[in-house]
Amino acid sequence: MNARWVLAIVLVAAPGCSLLVDTRDLSSGVDSGVRSAEDAGVLVESGGPDGGGGAEAAPRCATVGPRAPTSVVGWSQSSGARARGDGLVAMGDETDGSLVATGFGFVVPRSARVVGVTASILRRADLAGITDREAVLVGGPQASASRADTVRGWPTAMGIASYGGTNDTWGAPLDPALVESATFGLSLSVSGSAPMAEVDEITLTVTYCE
């Protein structure tokens, strides 16, 4: 009479894993020389705590804006850069320093991560010769990197120039408290003093993820 071996296997699954056991060879009466879980037909499926494959949920991202500033200072008729179509434009050149727009009134969830800021400026030059000197975000503990285009001249017809982007933090440590601050905004300066630079509108858009 052939002796029949009965093999009992106790398997404990680690959290987040499920165990599939192939028992076809366990009742054959043959010593199969099991040396590993793989040899025993045990398949370990890794996953997250809910067994769903371990994939993290994609972050939810949203944008706030474009929003216009409540305060613009620094050039002649600075308030003309608050909104288009009001019959006013802010006017300046390199001798006038910076045009600074702040008070955009953003509201961002406190748990969010700010991933980008986009600035849009509706502007022109009355003659060829104006270029960007500097375009930076202001209001934070440190100055941001400039996103100015110092090569291409401003057009002589009104057009929109964009700076930054949805995944561009301008090299600055942005957070919800900062972008909601009344002092957060954009500072723009130009090069060229013979023609006059004109800005009709400045807007900012904030992109964040949770």
Q: Where are the domains of the chain?
A: 1-56, 61-209
Instruction: Tell me phi and psi for residue 125, to 5 degrees.
Output: -120, 140
pLDDT of residue 54: 53
Exposed/middle/buried for 152, CB within 10 Å: 0-12, 13-18, 19+? Answer: exposed
- Max alpha carbon distance in the chain (Å)? 111
Assigned CATH topology for domain 61-209 = Jelly Rolls (2.60.120)
pLDDT of residue 9: 38
pLDDT of residue 156: 94
pLDDT of residue 103: 98
Sheet strands (E) in 111-196: 113-125, 131-138, 159-165, 185-191
pLDDT of residue 29: 43
Sheet strands (E) in 7-105: 18-21, 42-45, 61-67, 71-73, 90-92, 99-102
pTM above 0.85, yes or no: no
Provide the token pair at 65.
Answer: 């804006």
Hey, how many other C-beta atoms are within 10 angstroms of the C-beta on 38? Answer: 10
CA 46 to chain centre: 31
Low-confidence ranges of the chain (pLDDT < 70): 1-56
